[in-house]
Amino acid sequence: MLGSTVITLFALTVVSAAPAKRQEGPLVYAQGSNDQTGASQGSTTYNTASLGCWQDNYPFFRTLNGSFFFEPTYTTPETCSKYCAGLGFTYSGTEDATQCFCGNGLSGSSQIDDAQCNTACQANPAETCGGSNTLSVQKISYIYSEGCFQDIVNYRALDGAYTESDAMTVEYCGTYCSGNGFSYAGLEYATQCFCGNTVRLGPGSGCTTPCSGNSAETCGGNNALSLYSLTGKTLQTSGSSSRSVGCFADYYPATRAFSGPSRQSGDNTNESCQQYCTSQGFPYSGTEYSNECSTAPASNATSTACTMSCSGDASQICGGANGLSVTYFGA
């Protein structure tokens, strides 16, 4: 019986860490189960990357000295990483065909030739599970969901690297952004991946589009970004309290860029318009034709018609004829 086999292995093997109970089925990513890993809001997934073969130091001490299990019919690099990730560890390692170890560092060890980790996994002989006193090590990188954020074509929430793929998934985008040195990954419109180190726009809605590479995952929506932190640190938004988004086309009365409340004022400025829009509960303000102020989410149609001075401050530009000077101040 499987259960008695596990018990016998634990009884006959002396290791430096306390035995961990084998976990069946989907693992819950428990906050606080491991002090040394960061945590963020929302759900969590993870990526793994092979670090090659490393020396273990049994019986003196274990290179990965956290939780572990020995299970001949279950242990593979994937099941081991899943087990360790479920407990919040940052490294997993398989050894001697059947053993899985977890830890947050490679204690006193060194990398050795990959030929030293050539033992087939007993659970899947097509894969290797370390060797005699050697570990096939995987690095676990966590991807923390921050929720749904606004995005605008000509003012991106994440303004770093970009890629797109019909195989897009949360893990794909996270790997791409972390590999390029960024702290955040954002997915949009099923196939698009954006990266950045600060988030320039605020929370939004509309993240309902399945990822092109995995329909069980969500990859944003139309001008909606599924945002993920790759570090677990506090969300870093742009330090500016308000910033210009640019000049937007506004064709009155046929097609209005902003559909919210508006007003006209002889002393109109970008600041007074922002105050008005804040009072109306909107994160965007738009000034137009010198004395007009409008509120609502922004259009994506850019324009070059913003050339008129504000009626209340000639040193500022307040749109133009069919041109809306848009400011964002919600993040």
20 and 115 share a domain? yes
Note the pLDDT tens digit of each residue in 197-246: 999 888 888 999 999 999 999 999 998 999 999 987 666 665 445 677 78
The answer to whether position 132 is within a domain reads yes
Answer for the pair 256, 249: CB distance below 8 angstroms, yes or no: no
Residue 301 confidence (pLDDT) above 80: no
Alpha-carbon distances, residue 24 vs 83, 119, 137, 142, 324 (angstroms) = 9, 25, 22, 21, 57
Residue 109 confidence (pLDDT) above 80: yes
Residue 16 confidence (pLDDT) above 60: no
108 and 159 share a domain? no
CA–CA separation, 36 vs 104, rounded Å? 7
Q: Domain of 178? A: 151-229
At which of 141, 171, 202 does a domain end?
141
Question: CB-hemisphere CA count at 13 Å for 257?
Answer: 27
The answer to whether position 129 is within a domain reads yes
CA–CA separation, 206 vs 275, rounded Å? 27
Give the predicted TM-score (pTM) of the model. Answer: 0.57
- Using CA atoms in the order 165, 171, 179, 30, what is the torsion angle rounded to 10 degrees? 160
Block residue for tokens 């860490």? 17
18 and 92 share a domain? yes
Note the pLDDT tens digit of each residue in 240-266: 456 777 888 887 777 777 878 889 988
46 and 121 share a domain? yes
Answer for the pair 170, 228: CB distance below 8 angstroms, yes or no: yes
55 and 26 share a domain? yes
The answer to whether position 237 is within a domain reads no
92 and 170 share a domain? no
Kindly report which listed range (12-16, 282-286, 319-323) carries the lowest average pLDDT score.
Answer: 12-16
75 and 185 share a domain? no
Number of domains in the chain: 3
CA 220 to chain centroid, in Å, comes to 12
168 and 278 share a domain? no
Instruction: Write the DSSP assignment of 209-227 as a string of letters.
Output: PEETTEEEEE--BTTEEEE
Cβ contacts of 294 within 8 Å, gap of 6 or more: 250, 256, 257, 258, 260, 261, 262, 285, 286, 287, 288, 324
pLDDT for 108: 86
At which of 87, 115, 141 does a domain end?
141
68 and 155 share a domain? no
Return the H-helix or E-strand segment holding 5. Answer: helix 2-12
134 and 157 share a domain? no
The answer to whether position 272 is within a domain reads yes
Per the DSSP assignment, residues forming a β-bridge with 237 are 199
Phi and psi angles of residue 106, each rounded to the nearest 5 degrees, phi first:
-100, 80
At which of 109, 141, 173 does a domain end?
141
CA–CA separation, 271 vs 168, rounded Å? 41
CA–CA separation, 43 vs 196, rounded Å? 20
CB contact burial 290-323 (16+ within 10 A = b; e otherwise): bbbbbbbbbbeeebebbebebbbeeebbbbbebb
The answer to whether position 238 is within a domain reads no
The answer to whether position 234 is within a domain reads no
CA–CA separation, 161 vs 107, rounded Å? 35
The answer to whether position 57 is within a domain reads yes
Alpha-carbon distances, residue 49 vs 94, 174, 272 (angstroms) = 14, 12, 52
Residue 26 confidence (pLDDT) above 70: no
Average pLDDT, the chain: 81
45 and 108 share a domain? yes
pLDDT for 177: 94
134 and 78 share a domain? yes
pLDDT for 297: 58
Which residue type sits at 117?
A: C
